[in-house]
Amino acid sequence: MAVIPVERKPLTLAERTYIPQIVHGLKTTFRHLVAPNVTLEYPEQRPEIPGGYRGVPTLVRDPNGREKCVSCQLCEFVCPPKAIRITPGEIAADSAQAHVERAPQAFDIDMLRCIYCGLCQEVCPEEAIWLQTQYSMTGYTREEMVNHKDRLYELGGTLPDAHLKWDKKKAAEDAAAHGGHH
Amino acid sequence: MATEFAFPDAGAKTAAAAPEFQTEKMSLSMGPSHPSTHGVLRLQLELDGEVVTKCEPIIGYLHRGDEKIAENMTYNQFVPYTDRLDYLAPLANNVAYAIAVERLAKLEVPERCQAIRVVSCELARISSHLLGLGAYGIDVGAWSVFLYSFTEREKLYKLFEELTGARFTTSYTRIGGVARDVPEGWTDRVNAFCDQFLPILDEILALLTRNKIFMDRTVGVGVISREDAIAYGLTGPNLRGSGVGLDLRKDRPYSGYERYQFDVPVGTTGDCYDRYLVRGEEMKQSVRIVKQVLANFPKGPWQATDARRIVSPSKDKVLTSMEELIQNFMLVTEGPQMPAGEVYFEAENPKGALGFYVVSRGGGVPWRLKIRAPSFCNLSILPKLCAGTMVSDVVSILGSLDFVMGECDR
Ligand code: SF4
Ligand code: SF4
């Protein structure tokens, strides 16, 4: 619990001959020679990705197939390198999801700008944008590296939803409207 | 130091020939892409034969204007940029930045959050020193040290990945807390890492510490006197290598460092070898700190709980309650609300004292943010240190200073 000087001793005669060093070096080398491999033969072998990994950002649907994004543009605002571009849109009145009212018309994430920081996921009030497990993106042109809406949903897939808040809201409204008729 | 030639048997000729042997100074650009200048440092050397007569560091190849960028975004949005200062210890940068802003807001974070931060800082220190050690080995010709230290570093990256979701660009802290709690079983895995790490570290260090070739390259090379170290504003292992026992974790404790027992190793001569020894010992002390934190890992919240204008509400609340939803929108778009004022905070980072000077005029965006980068100050001693040494010693000196251009140029 103090300031301690590091130990420094002059080399002994034996150490000056370099023989103890060679012995130690060889011992270390041989131990590693027979030890299990620490490398991974990527891409044949893939590393295990832990939960909560921040991979490529994707858009997800809820278990009923509804696109969760309501194009509030909060992620677009927070994204530090400004990788996200959203064109907000309306949901058609005759759609089964009409009660949610809004969904993005276009949603682009430029993977040449994205720094995988995860702030978009953190701020999203709909849990619609998720950084999932994919970590490797390649393309021949800049255009190819921009993920458009379709691609984002394809990458994202469906995630469970604990709240289904829009459907609950609609059910409550329906119930209230129904109750009003009596 | 002009080289002199003697012609033993031709006295008259010598006088006539002498001007021809006046050596001409040669200038040599070492870097910006040179393996031993670790990144993009460029040294403009003036050589007289093998001897360096002048050394001028030229920096700025990695300048991104981080300080200006900070003025244009909210406090939390800047966290990913701090990853890219000392990119070998991003967690430590995240923590230093968050504490600086929290000091501005006079905000206390809960004990669990402090503990998480201490563990991340110390693991970052080990990881950074392991890289410093491995790279130094290569610089002076010992290849295998690099392989074994990188194997250990990989294990740390696995732990960082679990904790933060990313190996390198951790972006882990938020103003008033951290991005998320430690995952299930993580502390056990850190403990297991620490246990297996110490014997391996000893084995790695033994490849160098008593190695005659290594000692020939480092002992008595690049000696920084105590006075010089202080005068040039060196910090971290480079300062302690010269025998000054300044460690901010002890002298101006933050994040609960005062609760833990650890020693501050210092050197006696201030040469490259001392700086190497100090880093080696610091890793062991870091393990000691981590074990103490884990033995008594506090439960409870990992974010400040009474700061509605700074800390985002929990996701569950945002999803279900209108009030929290609005609060979330306000915090994201306007930033965590800070009082007007200014603050300077320095943390003991692996490379030295990383300082943030934040000037606020209120609101969620800093008016000015100045970064005091340890590598920048540590490199300032190069012209003095390199003059009069051999070219190969420059490599040895550079490696022993263990700098990183990400924060030097910022
Ligand atoms: S992904 Fe989330 S934050 Fe982004 S626009 Fe859609 S709902 Fe809003
Ligand atoms: S991960 Fe970060 S950089 Fe990438 S889109 Fe989301 S907010 Fe933007």
Q: A129 C-alpha vs ligand 1 centroid, how far in Å?
A: 7
CB A124 near ligand 2, within 6 Å: no
Contact between residue B367 and residue B360 where contact means Cβ atoms under 8 Å apart: yes
CB within 8 Å of A168: residues ≥ 6 apart:
none
Pick from A1, A51, A163: which is nearest to B319 by CB? A163
Q: How many CA atoms lie within 13 A of B312 on its CB side?
A: 27
Predicted pLDDT of residue B10 = 43
For the beta carbon of residue A4, count every other beta carbon within 10 angstroms: 13
Cα dihedral across residues A40, A46, A48, A51: positive or negative = positive
**Cβ <8 Å between B73 and A80:** yes
Q: What is the pLDDT of residue A1?
A: 52
- For residue B154, which of B131, B181, B180 has the smallest C-alpha distance? B131
- Strand A3-5 versus strand B264-266 pairing type: parallel
Q: Tell which A residues from 32 to 51 touch B, by Cβ distance under 8 Å.
A: 32, 38, 50-51
Per-residue pLDDT reduced to its tens digit, A147-165 = 888 888 888 888 787 777 7
Residue A103: phi and psi, rounded to 5, are: -150, 155
Q: In chain B, which residue's Cα lies nearest the Cα of A11?
A: B210
Question: In this predicted model, what pLDDT tens digit does every residue of A26-35 receive, in sequence order?
Answer: 888 888 888 8
- Does A7 lie at the interface with B, CB-CB under 8 angstroms? yes
- How far, in Å, CA of B339 to CA of B362, rounded? 5
Minimal Cα–Cα distance from A22 to chain B, Å? 9
Does the beta carbon of A164 lie inside 6 Å of ligand 2?
A: no
Query: Within 13 A of B110's CA, how many CA atoms are on the CB side?
Result: 17
**Angle formed by the axes of helices B391-401 and B272-295, nearest 10°:** 20
Q: Which residues, in sequence order, are bridge partners of residue B356?
A: B345, B371
Mutate to test the interface with B, among A6, A29, A115, A166 (most CBs of B within 10 A): A6
Q: What is the DSSP string of B342-372?
A: EEEEEEEETTEEEEEEEEEEEESS-SEEEEE
Stretch (H or E) spanning B54: strand B51-58
For residues B222 and B397, is the Cβ–Cβ distance under 8 A? Answer: yes
Please name the residue of chain A whose CA is at the shortest distance from the CA of residue B165: A53
Q: How far is the CA of A53 from the centre of ligand 2 (A)?
A: 14
* Inter-chain CB proximity A122 and B325 less than 8 Å: no
Distance of CA B126 to the CA centre of its chain: 11
Task: Please state, in angstroms and rounded to a whole number, the distance separating the CA atoms of residues B28 and B106.
Answer: 51
Question: Would you kindly state where each structural domain of chain B is located, as residue ranges?
Answer: 74-338
Question: Taking Cα atoms as reference points, which of B190, B24, B61, B201 lies closest to residue B116?
Answer: B190
CA distance, residue A46 to nearest chain B CA (Å): 14
Tokens of residue B383, six digits = 């012209």
CATH number for the segment(s) A57-161: 3.30.70.3270
Query: Looking at the partner chain, which of B151, B166, B278 has a beta carbon nearest the beta carbon of A54?
Result: B166
Residue-by-residue DSSP string for A104-165: EEEEEEETTT-----HHHHH-TTS-EEE-S------SSTGGGEE-HHHHHHHH-B---S--H
Pocket of ligand 1 (CB under 6 A): A 69-75, 86, 124, 126, 128-129
The overall longest dimension of chain A from CA atoms, in Å, is 104
Closest partner residue to B277 (CB to CB) among A8, A32, A162 is A8
Q: Which 143-172 residues of chain A touch chain B by CB within 8 A? A: 162-163, 165
Query: Which helix (H) or strand (E) element contains residue B157?
Result: helix B143-164
Helix axes B391-401, B111-139, angle to 10 degrees: 170
Instruction: Report residues of chain B scoring pLDDT below 70.
Output: 1-22
User: Contact B374/B352 with Cβ under 8 angstroms?
Assistant: yes
- Between the CA of A59 and the centroid of ligand 1 the distance, in Å, is 9
Q: Which of A117, A124, A161, A167 to mutate to test the interface with B (most CBs of B within 10 A)?
A: A117
Asked if the C-beta of B183 comes within 8 angstroms of chain A's C-beta atoms, the answer is yes
Q: Give me the pLDDT at residue A181, please.
A: 53
Ligand 2 pocket, A114 CB below 6 A? yes
Block residue for tokens 């005029």:
B361
The bridge status of strand B264-266 relative to strand B177-178 is unpaired
Assigned token pair, A29 = 């080398």
**A50 φ/ψ sector (left φ>0, alpha ψ -120 to 50, else beta):** beta
**Shortest CA gap A99–chain B (Å):** 17
Interface test with A, best of B315, B317, B321, B365 (most A CBs within 10 A): B315
Cβ atoms of A120 and A83 within 8 Å: the answer is no
Q: Determine the pLDDT at residue B7.
A: 47
Query: Do you know the residue count of chain A?
Result: 182
The single residue listed with the structure tokens 């930033």 is B335
Residue whose C-alpha is closest to residue B163's, from B173, B153, B175, B154: B173
Cβ–Cβ contact B266 with A under 8 A: yes
Q: Does B389 touch chain A (CB under 8 A)?
A: no
User: Please, are residues B116 and B378 in contact by the beta-carbon 8 Å criterion?
Assistant: no
Q: How far is CA B231 from the centre of its chain?
A: 20
Interface confidence, given as ipTM, is 0.82
Q: At the topology level of CATH, where does B74-338 sit?
A: Cytochrome-c3 Hydrogenase; chain B (1.10.645)
Contacts of A15 in chain B (CB under 8 A): 210, 212
Scan for tokens 């543009």, then name that residue: A73
Q: In what order do the strands lie in the sheet with A102-110?
A: A84-90, A102-110, A146-147
Looking at the whole model, is its pTM more than 0.90?
no
* β pairing state of A102-110 and A84-90: antiparallel
Among the bound ligands, name the one nearest to the CA of residue A124.
1
Ligand 2 atom showing the smallest separation from residue A116 Cα = 1
Chain B CB contacts of A122 under 8 Å are 179, 312
User: What DSSP designation does B139 have?
Assistant: H
Q: Which of B179, B203, B212 sits opposite A28 (nearest CB)?
A: B203
Distance A69 CA to ligand 1 centre (A): 5
Check residue A63 and report its DSSP letter.
T
For residue A86, give the ligand nearest its CA.
1
Smallest CA-to-CA distance from A111 within A87, A133, A85, A89 is with A85
User: Could you give the C-alpha distances from A48 to A154, B123, B182, in angstroms and in order?
Assistant: 22, 21, 19
Q: What's the pLDDT tens digit per position in B62-97?
A: 899 999 999 999 999 999 999 998 888 899 999 999
